[in-house]
Amino acid sequence: MNLPAYYPNSAKINAQNHLEIGDYDLTELTERFGSPLYVLDEKTIRDIAREYKQSLDEFYPNNLPIFASKALALKAVFSILQQEGFGLDVVSAGELFTAESINFPADKIYLHGNNKSIDELERAINYSGTKIIIDNFNDIKLLGELNKPVDCLLRLTPGVECHTHEYIKTGHLDSKFGFDLEHLIEAIEQIKKTPNINLIGLHAHIGSQIFEVNPYEDVARILLENYVKLGEKYNLKFNELNVGGGIGITYTSADDPPSIRQVMQILSNKVKSLINEFKLEPPKLIVEPGRSIVGRAGVTVYEVGSSKTVPKGRHYISVNGGMADNPRPITYQAKYSACVANKAAEQNSQVYTIAGRYCESGDILIKDIELPANIQPKDLIVLFGTGAYNYSMSSNYNRVPRPAMILVQNGEAEIILQRENLEDLIKHDVLPSRLAN
């Protein structure tokens, strides 16, 4: 049976009509670890990481793919990607600390952010070899105050539009990220007055969940044109070109993203063409995939509870999770696909709306999806494509503990994120003595 493109690579339906991932029956997995449950397929992560690395090695050997860790910042994920030859894009002291905790090579870590604290900058510099992406004038000021040598890239806002959600566009001019082209000269002049900053390259990122290839070519040209202009004017020796990430993934059958290999080939050929046009030494080409590495590798398994049919309206089924473990539908109007794990081969014949358990009318995971008829309490609903930004953006709304995450591979299942319990919810609460009974 050919499964849809949004399933993890190792997914299959077994003889019991149950969905398996990593050769592990999801029904048995939830019996062992409970639900809701984040499940991460190691094979999918490694397959996709290798597609990036092998494509880049073929088309542009001087490269470094770095994982945008905001998508899923866990020690196990960082370790897998380190083994696959990746670096890291981190945006906080917490993400950097996670990398430090597994001794991730500092010279492959890049600190991003539009409002870095001086403590975050100092931590990155002290983790010797970490590079800083300068996003604004305050970064330059704080780095000057620290007065410690550091390699940096300058982030541009290239003004390249792409068809994605308004909240995840970052390359257009009206963005909180980066320097617009009109302020580049002023930024460079301030950097030149800050002798501890060693400017080694330029960076841009145009957004997320992108299905087009042309914007990457446009970004490459804008970056390399400024490479030449700024290098000549200020006698700068750039050697890194970071074009960001953002390649989209398949969440539903309506999504049709380009292949990773296709994007890497077109991007690499464009960069090589521009290098020849501008007579440059080939810089290191850096790309920053996040969602496209882990998104499709992850699923979330929920247990069905109550149901409700509205007269002349929808048939709701409620599950034991929702907006706190997956805030993307209520935040971005994100769309997902689903199946019933314990009825995985049954014909879809009834339309349902999958509702979350949280006290918001907008807590709807999927509106109007066809699933097998007669879904019952205790059935297991699987949402696909939840590996990116679900745990990262999760919360304890309604004082509900976050789910566990399980890494599956070749019939083995290991906890990589412990399930929170009720004690975890109050461990940081402080009751003033005057209020104690």
Kindly list the catalytic residues.
359
Spacing of C-alpha 311 from chain mean position = 40
Pairing type for strands 298-309 and 380-384 reads: antiparallel
Q: Residue 238 class from Cβ within 10 Å (0-12 exposed, 13-18 middle, 19+ buried)? A: buried
Which runs of E-coded beta strand occur in 243-329?
284-287, 298-309, 315-319
Q: Please choose, from the candidates 362, 384, 381, 403, the residue with its C-alpha nearest in 3D space to the C-alpha of residue 317.
A: 381
Q: How far apart are CA 368 and CA 353, in angstroms?
A: 5
The structure tokens listed for 231 are 């290098």
Element (H, E) at 43: helix 42-59
Q: Are 168 and 214 in contact (CB under 8 A)?
A: no
Q: How far apart are CA 108 and CA 206, in angstroms?
A: 22
Q: Max alpha carbon distance in the chain (Å)?
A: 76
Q: How far apart are CA 139 and CA 371, in angstroms?
A: 51
The structure tokens listed for 389 are 């930004």
Q: What Å distances lie between residue 287 and 88, 134, 255, CA to CA?
A: 10, 17, 22
